[in-house]
Structure 1
Amino acid sequence: MSLSHAYAPIPSADQGAALLNKALDLGITHFDTAALYGFGANERLLASAIGHRRADYVLASKCVLGEVNGKRGLDGRPEAIAASIDASLERLQTDHIDLMYLHRLDRNVPIEESVGALVRAKEAGKIGALGLSEMSAETVRRAHAVHPIAALQTEYSPMVRNPEVAVLETCRELGIAFVAFSPVARGLLADRIRSDAYGEGDLRSQFPRYSGDNLRHNLAIVDAFNALAAELGSTPAQLSLAWVLSRGAHVIAIPGTTSIAHLEEDVGATDVVLNDAAIARIDALFAPGAIRGARYSVAAQAQVGTELLPNEELASD
């Protein structure tokens, strides 16, 4: 995502291509894009940068959330999903996408109808596995009853624990891969954020926990987390990723970056082994209520179906 969308500054296409090819060289085999990212620009980048290595990786993309009349919007109608998949195939310059997610829940359309559109695309050979993103355990079960769901993607890190309410266990029970996005908390748990002086258009400026007094409070917790990482002989990003990967055999982490150095650092997380005492110390740092500020803006939260934590703080207009 960060190669084309959300975080400032956006790297050049050449820089993005170099990073994607380096990721393949390092053994990364799962690439996650979406129609939303740069309104198609990220899919086109993957095609131009690593399309020639298509046999070397699993390709995942997303529909439903994307460009609607020139703006970010939801459309979970079956005909819209079919059109979105065809557009993604064209941008990706391929005839098959290995994993296709419903990016968000369109509450105006029954989930069964949206999943049905994915089933028809699978039957046509356009997609392989079916996925969901930022949806509740109840929605996962309804979708899974229509067709087996292969992957559920949602935000998960030591400081974002919503999946522990229900979906993490639901995925384990149903044999669904749990895919953790933002596993280093949009850079906060990678020691990449020290102030809210973000570049123009950076999505984090819209999320309450990443700015103002909330950020200043949260950075004190981050400092303690950074110190623990140093004590354990890892970087903060590696510690956060190792914690995510410790949550179950069905858990996959998909960190994003624009930096080859940070990419190499992230890959190093696979060498970090955490014992129960270290995990307990991390959990204590991020005890319920420790982090201040809502996870999303009002507009973004309205498009999320994931369960809320008890007494979770939400943004207000």
Structure 2
Amino acid sequence: MDEKQGTTISVMEMGTMLGLKKTDAYWLVHKQCFETVTVGGKMRIVLKSFEHWYANQVKHRKIDGTPPGQELRANSYSMKEMAEELGVAEGVAYDIIKRYAIETFEVDTWKRVRKDVFDAWYRTQSRYRTREDREKDAELEASSMSMPEMAGLLLIPRAEVYHILLTGRDREKFDFVYIGGRRRVTKSSFENWYAGQTKYRKLCDRPPEEIAGIEKQKKEAEHPRLKVDESKAAFTLQEASVLLDLTYNEVRSLIRSGDLDANKYGTRYLIPRDEIQWFLLQQRLERET
């Protein structure tokens, strides 16, 4: 009996260890969470089976602070842990499970993935990267650039970059690395190519006025200028801002200051064509003097 009692605990002792009331302690026994034996006519819990259960669940915690689920965490991921491992949002982890039909199991109603199952899935894809692989990738990323990054550096369309790298006459001058299945250009090979050609220029090698012009073109491409019929007798503030190459608020300020005449109809302003032409003439004369 002494040996049995040394390897078993009573239901009350188990409840005390977990800070549970008597009813909750017996409920765990009723759910057959542990192996039980009868000692001296009383039911006792096999201590080894209790510790095995404790190491494979995360709902209950010992009052002495010993963390639960150590074995469970060593062998599987929760959805949150999987998301952290892949560097994605938890919702994305659930989407991955569903999209790739990854096998899961439940512990206390929480879904988990065995690490061997996760590893088998991970080897079949290249889109997602683990924490360890992301750390390894950091050095490669710092020494390379993506094709869109190269396009932005040279201020040219992506299609032109693809031509330079893949089919152009200088394609042999570039070296590539692969990160997450995506091809990247090494910065050293890019710089060597750049130094040996004269057609393309990086943003830092362009004069300020050229950069300003490019930025203006880019902005106009993103937000096309309003097409204005210049034969109209009068123009709205928005149309006038296009004709005068000013912002909407600048046109309003000119009207308020009296530098630009406008007729007001309710809350709407209309600026006569003659007034627009006169203002542009004055601006031109000021630039010439």
Q: Pick the TM interval, shorter chain.
A: under 0.3
What TM-score results when the alignment is normalised by the length of structure 1? 0.17
What TM-score results when the alignment is normalised by the length of structure 2? 0.18
Which is richer in helix? 2
- Name which structure has the greater RCO, CA cutoff 8 Å, separation 6+: 1
